[in-house]
């Protein structure tokens, strides 16, 4: 008997029947075959497969088999996703599979009405699609029925696991799994689904500490791809290329900022291209309409940020186009994996670089991928602000806790953190009236006056999320909600009515209700703008080092247009001083005096630390970016020079400024806030690897108009 047949035969007969007869499948894909036995045997698993590689079915078919064979009743499976759009997109497909065997799927998140949620409580579905924030809301709810809905859960599926584990939401999901397990009073099987990650075993082991786990499948396919890199020089030129190329095809265009997404969409519409828009600042209704229309139309373009990177189905694509480049190989694989679904067709991606940096990042990402590199995902260390968040959540969930019980539960959840520090955080919260301890019999801890004021609004909505949301204004055209913009979008220096761009169209602001945070608009022929909070991204060491390698050897494993090849040749010639295994110091002219530029190609987080090291050694750092550090003197990394433990006053000031935006920072001492922020901003390993390289001095001296900018 073949392995495929053996796996198929282990599924419940009803599931077997519907795979063949209702879905018309000839068999299971390799990852789906490999997943059957471990999931049926109750193992914790992480499933890896390329985008559209059948991960969802690999998990769902064995889960349905267990549900039928073991007669699970009521809500028994939670399916956790990072974004609501993915939940909405998955619901019809999962409802189809579950409906075939007489079971039901429900959705629970902030856009779902109270009436639908009440029906789910009264008549629970078998599987519930939700987000971590909505799950937290159920646990801390004053309505016991919401929490009791989770008592029968025996299995949790975490989709797009890599999207969680790289930031605080990964810690949040890990905490929620443990709390649901404690509430249900049983071991809960966990399945993590991911397409692209460099360290899958580490991630599932971290998510489920101390428990045996299994890795199933391969994160990315070795199938070749049709890759082209073009240099177009501007967003307007990119729109022209998209307009003229691939007419009649369905094209998904990725931009890595909401502003660029809007600008490109507006220009394409001006060319008469059928264009849709998707990003997080559009209303849910606007996004759904765009995604539905795009999925159904054969000749059109959808322009999106990473919102369409996470598994949302937008139909059978012909082509993916990337403006400039994503920040990682993993994101590139997710995006390119949208194509090549038809039998006999390759995956494809066309990069349109609008500047030198975009050209170099695109080239380096392709080369890293060809070398089988995918970034490892590392959860942030020292999440002390989340200890505070979970402490408040546990108190709300239990309607108050004795201090010993609160400390015990937090220590169990954060078993790999210092228990003394956890106790100290509780003391800090008590001293600041965020928490309040009843000195009577029992000594229950509840929320204090400051905690009620800080977190109690709108039924403790602030507690369910691990991050602060920026202030945004809701934009309305009549009764239709278009989306959200930063307040800076509607401020002008004159008395004319401001215009903005949203949903790929131009709008004139009619009135603004600042109290309600609402802006009313009407269509406009004038060009507008849209602003959102954000900053330039810090690139990783591996990516920056590969950019340096490209500047040296000019090897790009993709088709380069003549424009891209000529631009790369010019860039390479201007960096002729670079040497393999060494860093270069280049003398330039600053605004008032000569400067030195230390070309490290270390990435923003490593260069932050290296700039601090130079300043502390007496060589003032004027500034730094992903590729270089500007200094007042030639850099000199003496043998044995140590990276700084303490930062300069300027460095500490920056840490404090960022710390102010850290959610729950008010619950922590300043030193604890710094302990959270510093590991996220400073790459000690990357900086150490650069200090180990010799520095070669360039004797060239450039006049101001000849000074070199980073690629």
- pLDDT, position 640: 58
Q: Do the Cβ atoms of 86 and 164 come closer than 8 Å? A: no
Q: Is residue 241 in some structural domain?
A: yes
Q: Which residue has the higher pLDDT, 691 or 511?
A: 691
**Tokens found for residue 656:** 């404090």
433 & 366 share domain: no
Q: Do the Cβ atoms of 508 and 521 come closer than 8 Å? A: yes
Q: Is residue 554 in some structural domain?
A: no
Structural domain count, the chain:
5
Q: Is residue 548 in some structural domain?
A: no
242 & 390 share domain: no
Provide the CB-side half-sphere exposure for 287 (13 A, CA).
22
**Tokens found for residue 465:** 């999320």
Q: Is residue 378 in some structural domain?
A: no
| pLDDT above 90 coverage of the chain, percent | 57
Q: Do the Cβ atoms of 246 and 273 come closer than 8 Å? A: no
Q: Do the Cβ atoms of 176 and 136 come closer than 8 Å? A: yes
For the chain, report the end-to-end CA distance as a whole number of angstroms.
Answer: 57
Give, to the nearest 10 degrees, the angle between helix 168-184 and helix 384-398: 30
9 & 112 share domain: yes
Q: Do the Cβ atoms of 220 and 55 come closer than 8 Å? A: no
400 & 441 share domain: yes
What tens digit of pLDDT does each residue of 433-492 get? 999 998 776 689 999 999 999 888 766 888 998 865 555 677 888 877 777 776 655 654
On the question of pLDDT at 140 being above 90, the answer is yes
256 & 343 share domain: yes
364 & 444 share domain: no
User: Which residue, 441, 463, 485, sits at the end of a domain?
Assistant: 463
193 & 264 share domain: no
The domain that holds 137 is classified in CATH as 3.40.50.300
User: Which residue, 217, 238, 253, sits at the end of a domain?
Assistant: 217
User: How far is residue 683's CA from residue 606's CA, in Å, rounded to a whole number?
Assistant: 4
Cα torsion 280, 130, 157, 455 to 10°: value is: 90
- β-pair type (518-523, 505-513): antiparallel
Instruction: Evaluate the CA torsion angle 8, 12, 13, 14 in order and state its sign.
Output: negative
Q: Is residue 567 in some structural domain?
A: no
511 & 655 share domain: no
Closest CA to 389 of 605, 179, 78: 179
Q: Do the Cβ atoms of 68 and 13 come closer than 8 Å? A: no
Q: Is residue 543 in some structural domain?
A: no
Q: What is the pTM of this model?
A: 0.87
On the question of pLDDT at 560 being above 90, the answer is yes
> What's the chain's average pLDDT?
87
Radius of gyration of the chain (CA): 27
Contacts of 119 (CB under 8 A, 6+ apart): none
161 & 297 share domain: no
Q: Is residue 379 in some structural domain?
A: no
In a 10 Å sphere around its CB, with 0-12 CB exposed, 13-18 middle and 19+ buried, how is residue 245 labelled?
middle
What tens digit of pLDDT does each residue of 307-322 get? 777 767 766 788 999 9
Q: Is residue 545 in some structural domain?
A: no
User: How far is residue 304's CA from residue 464's CA, in Å, rounded to a whole number?
Assistant: 27
**Tokens found for residue 71:** 């007669």
Residue carrying the six token digits 């400024």: 657
The domain that holds 408 is classified in CATH as 1.10.10.10
439 & 313 share domain: no
Provide the CB-side half-sphere exposure for 604 (13 A, CA).
9
Q: 219-223, 342-346, 575-579, 603-607: which range is least confident on average?
A: 219-223
User: Which residue, 217, 243, 278, sits at the end of a domain?
Assistant: 217
Q: Which residue has the higher pLDDT, 648 or 234?
A: 234
154 & 46 share domain: yes
68 & 142 share domain: yes
What tens digit of pLDDT does each residue of 347-362 get? 899 999 999 999 999 9
Closest CA to 261 of 216, 200, 306, 309: 306
User: Domain residues for 236?
Assistant: 225-370
């Amino acid at each position: 008997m073949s392995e495929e047949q053996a796996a198929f035969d282990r599924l419940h007969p009803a599931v077997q029947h519907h795979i063949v007869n209702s879905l018309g499948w000839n068999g299971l894909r390799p990852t789906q075959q490999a997943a059957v036995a471990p999931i049926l045997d109750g193992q914790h698993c992480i499933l890896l497969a390329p985008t559209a590689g059948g991960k969802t079915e690999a998990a769902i078919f064995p889960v349905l088999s267990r549900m039928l064979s073991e007669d699970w009743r009521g809500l028994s499976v939670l399916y956790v996703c990072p974004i609501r759009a993915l939940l909405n997109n998955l619901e019809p497909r999962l409802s189809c599979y579950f409906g075939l065997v007489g079971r039901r799927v429900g959705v629970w998140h902030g856009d779902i009405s109270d009436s639908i949620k009440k029906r789910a409580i009264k008549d629970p579905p078998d599987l519930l699609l939700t987000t971590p924030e909505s799950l937290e809301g159920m646990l801390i709810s004053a309505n016991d029925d919401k929490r009791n809905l989770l008592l029968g859960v025996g299995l949790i599926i975490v989709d797009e696991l890599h999207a969680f584990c790289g930031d605080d939401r990964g810690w949040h999901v890990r905490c929620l799994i443990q709390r649901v397990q404690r509430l249900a009073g049983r071991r809960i099987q966990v399945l993590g689904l991911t397409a692209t990650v460099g360290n899958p075993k580490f991630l599932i082991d971290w998510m489920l500490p101390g428990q045996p786990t299994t890795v199933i499948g391969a994160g990315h396919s070795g199938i070749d791809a049709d890759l082209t890199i073009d240099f177009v020089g501007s967003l307007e030129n990119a729109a022209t290329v998209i307009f003229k190329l691939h007419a009649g095809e369905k094209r998904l265009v990725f931009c890595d900022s909401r502003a660029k997404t809007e600008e490109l969409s507006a220009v394409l519409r001006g060319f008469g291209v059928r264009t849709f828009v998707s990003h997080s600042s559009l209303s849910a209704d606007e996004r759904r309409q765009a995604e539905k229309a795009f999925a159904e139309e054969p000749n059109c373009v959808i322009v999106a940020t990473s919102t369409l990177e996470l598994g949302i189905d937008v139909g059978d694509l012909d082509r993916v186009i990337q403006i400039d480049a994503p920040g990682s190989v993993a994101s590139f694989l997710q995006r390119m994996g949208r194509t090549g679904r038809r039998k006999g067709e390759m995956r494809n991606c066309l990069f349109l670089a609008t500047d030198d940096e975009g050209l170099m990042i695109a080239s380096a990402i392709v080369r890293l991928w060809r070398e089988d590199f995918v970034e490892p995902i590392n959860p942030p260390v020292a999440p002390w602000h989340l200890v505070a968040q979970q402490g408040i959540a546990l108190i709300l969930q239990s309607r108050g806790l004795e201090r010993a019980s609160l400390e015990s539960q937090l220590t169990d959840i954060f078993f790999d953190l210092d228990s003394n520090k956890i106790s100290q955080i509780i003391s800090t919260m008590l001293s600041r009236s965020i928490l309040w301890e009843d000195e009577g019999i029992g000594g229950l801890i509840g929320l204090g006056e400051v905690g009620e004021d800080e977190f109690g609004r709108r039924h403790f909505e602030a507690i369910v999320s691990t991050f602060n949301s920026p202030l945004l204004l809701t934009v309305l055209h009549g009764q239709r909600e278009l989306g959200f913009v930063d307040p800076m979008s509607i401020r002008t220096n004159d008395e004319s009515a401001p215009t903005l761009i949203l949903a790929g169209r131009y709008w004139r602001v009619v009135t603004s209700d600042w109290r309600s945070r609402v802006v009313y608009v009407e269509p406009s022929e004038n060009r507008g703008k849209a602003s959102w909070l954000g900053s330039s991204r810090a690139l990783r060491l591996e990516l920056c080092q590969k950019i340096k390698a490209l500047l040296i050897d000019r090897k790009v494993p993709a088709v380069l247009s003549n424009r891209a090849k000529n631009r790369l040749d010019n860039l390479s010639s201007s960096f002729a001083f670079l040497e393999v295994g060494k860093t270069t110091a280049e003398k330039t002219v600053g605004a008032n005096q000569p400067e030195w530029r230390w070309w490290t190609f270390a990435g923003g987080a490593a260069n932050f630390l290296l700039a601090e090291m130079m300043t502390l050694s007496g060589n003032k750092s004027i500034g730094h970016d992903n590729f270089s550090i500007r200094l007042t003197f030639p850099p000199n990394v003496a043998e044995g020079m140590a990276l700084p433990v303490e930062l300069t006053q300027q460095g500490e000031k920056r840490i404090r400024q960022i710390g102010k935006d850290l959610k729950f920072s008010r619950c922590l001492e300043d030193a604890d806030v710094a302990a959270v922020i510093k590991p996220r901003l400073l790459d000690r390993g990357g900086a150490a690897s650069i200090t180990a390289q010799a520095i070669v001095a360039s004797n060239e001296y450039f006049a101001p108009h000849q000074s070199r900018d980073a690629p």
